[in-house]
Structure 1
């Protein structure tokens, strides 16, 4: 793995920084406080090629490698984590499974519009009774001639309210457990598809998190993604990529918190000198910097491994586990450095602190990541 950025990667990063400076930074705090979905910014990301960043050009995407995408994710999330999660869900959880498992007709109809930002996607796996136990979903899909009829409820779905297309998992053979789950491409316009409760969240307030309800939802049989009863394999493969994206989001949150803390520590004076000159503050900043760099290496390694087509489940879990928990530690210290001001919404670290919290929960809790890592470790030691 080459740690030196390529010219293309540096160009992408510089382009995003300019976009953030002009378009995102001036509105992020206000829109987040108002829980306002950033329609115009999402459209702009699509025009920049960042809503289908690593999807091949011939399928309508930008054809970036995964490392370039991860760098882009970190930069966007550093400015506004809500925008970052909208971007990563569309890339990793909506576009990627269609790219990997979709047939040519599905790619033409859905992948190109999703990758170009003309449609927005979401990923509907979690249910009220099935969070970490993804194989325990209760949503059912039964064949009815040329359609499947879906019945069930999905919970905590990022982009759920705004999405045009959902990747939905449902049980097609109740006798086979996890081996009886199938994946479907479901349009919001399909009869029987309803958006339910919109969650009022602690953080990521600029992205919507919704309940999706399916009541005899009629899905054409040609919208079955991959092979019937092999949806759980699709879900696990998709989550490998999604977890790398969340690790990059966590990196962005942490880097944003560190940057703010350093700037504040140099400016804030107590006892006649900047607090950055005090050893206690320097120690916190040094730990924050070291943890961010360590998490970045883990995340970049996981992205590089997936780009090479190598088994990446354990690497992705390690990256997601460490980066998410690191982001919470870094954001905590950033608030501490700001003192009382860190508790005030006017200052950016308050938002970083709230946004960091979700990263240890979604796309697999830290406890699930540890289970995945340990399972792979036990299998590798004979």
Structure 2
């Protein structure tokens, strides 16, 4: 531990320095639109940006960092994503998936070494959970470990870890192998330093990922020996530690979404004001107004999520039981990111289909956010399952009553009572769980927007966002209450060739 805390510039001053540095490297020294369609990040870009020590935001003050403050972490992600979603995700991987877990769960000696390397050597870190045969089914991962003397030997395969081949540090997840060769149920986390003997990770393949070209992904062979002091220390179980980690990370997705949506809104407004169709600006057309108003509402909704996460998602809080909130935030905001990119592309038109245009590129760059760290379909199903579990516990299947009693949804449930006041017919089909979860996620989002309004956020933007959310909720409920359940027709080819019906 440092005897004296490192002196950092005030956060707002640092943020302004970062914005100026990004402007310099992305727009003066290079063209970010051209850079973003090539694999990897030019070395000078990372060097110039990392010289400002942005990752100090995720390091406690007693180890020389800025204090691991959640509001600063989210603001950092938002500032970066206005210019580059890939850079923001790089910061997010380092902070949410490595530095914050280390700050909360690592031993003293490990913290000192890791944080010193990040601050003095500009090291980076990531997290490896996903395996080729076990993506969403992470609890059944096959990477295993056994203890040998004062070390843990880990063996397995991981893939789709952001910063594959770049990061010096990794959090590796594995299950303990019993003497009989079976794997125990719980999960452990280990800090791996690829620069240390016996800890090298072999990159077997670098993937040609669709979008986010500047971040490397791939398949990694794990066969490492980790000292005992670099094992994370859970407060109860490893599974709860993983849930705390993942829920906290999901609560920081609004930071990455914030700058991205803000940029698309600005670009769309500028285009709509400047572009003339039929002798008048594009912004004068009603359908364009509709798209722009939705984009503005996404800006407000994401702002509400950022504020909420800054208040509740700090590492001092245990988020392992916060699945309803974290899953709602992550799934809804990533849906908004994709919809924002689609709308911006539609508004700009053909120009947006150039690889070096931010709107069209934003479609592929934002799409994986709906998949990684929990596919949105799965998260929506989990949200609905939590609601159904409450119903079973209270023996009340009235949707309104359940949402009215839930602190995360009670205000919006009141406002939407006439649409929510019906009985759920349990059990629900999986597709109905997903639909219900999408509804509940937006009701949670509406509550967050109302709370943002209570704090003095401009009322016209609050009203606009609530109206958009209400429209979406009511539309989704209409689909949810439809009774049709179309199934796949397996052998569909007979009598399905349209040409056979020509006269």
TM-score exceeds 0.5: yes
Distance in 1 between residues matched to 2:390 and 2:111, nearest whole Å:
36
Is 1:251 equivalent to 2:258 in the alignment? yes
Q: Distance in 1 between matches of 2:90 and 2:298?
A: 25
C-alpha displacement at 1:315, in angstroms? 2.3
Match of 1:275 in 2: 282
Determine if contact 2:144/2:183 at 8 Å carries over to the other structure: no
Name the SS for the 1:126 alignment partner. coil
List runs of 5+ in structure 1 lacking aligned partners: 1-6
Q: Given the two structures, how large is their TM-score scaled by the length of structure 1?
A: 0.90
- 2:374 is aligned to 364
- Tell me which of 328, 331, 336 is aligned to 1:321: 331
Is 1:52–1:90's contact at 8 Å kept on the other side of the alignment? Answer: no
Alignment of 1:17-166 (within 5 A): 17-25=19-27, 26-63=30-67, 65-114=69-118, 118-166=122-170
Deviation at 1:57, TM superposition (A): 1.2
Write the distance in 2 (CA, Å) between the matches of 1:375 and 1:23. 46
Shift of 1:18: 2.0
Question: Which residue among 340, 347, 352 is the counterpart of 2:362?
Answer: 352
Residue 95 of structure 1: how far off its partner (Å): 0.6
Q: Greater strand percent: which structure?
A: 1
- Quick one: distance in 2 between partners of 1:53 and 1:305? 17
Q: 2:344 aligns with which of 326, 330, 334?
A: 334
Preserved CA contact (<8 Å) 1:92 1:238: yes
**Which of 209, 223, 229 pairs up with 1:222?**
229
Q: CA RMSD in A?
A: 2.4
Q: Does 1:200 align with 2:208?
A: yes
Superposed CA offset, 1:259-294 (max 9, x none): 111111111122112211211111110111112211
- How far has the Cα of 1:253 moved from its partner? 2.0
Question: Cα distance 1:310–1:101, how it changes in 2: closer, same or farther (>3 A)?
Answer: closer
Distance change (3 Å), C-alpha of 1:57 and 1:325: same
Aligned length: 374
Map of 2:191 onto structure 1 = 185
Structure 2, unmatched stretches of 5+, are 1-8, 395-503
Measured in 1, the distance between the counterparts of 2:235 and 2:69 equals 30
- TM-score normalised according to structure 2 size: 0.69
Change (3 A) 1:68 1:146: closer
Secondary structure of residue in 2 paired with 1:157:
coil
SS state of the match for residue 55, structure 2? Answer: coil
Given candidates 2, 14, 17, the residue that maps to 1:15 is 17
* Residues 251 and 313, structure 2, Cα contact 8 Å, conserved in 1: no
Q: CA deviation at 1:21?
A: 1.8
Q: Which has the greater radius of gyration?
A: 2
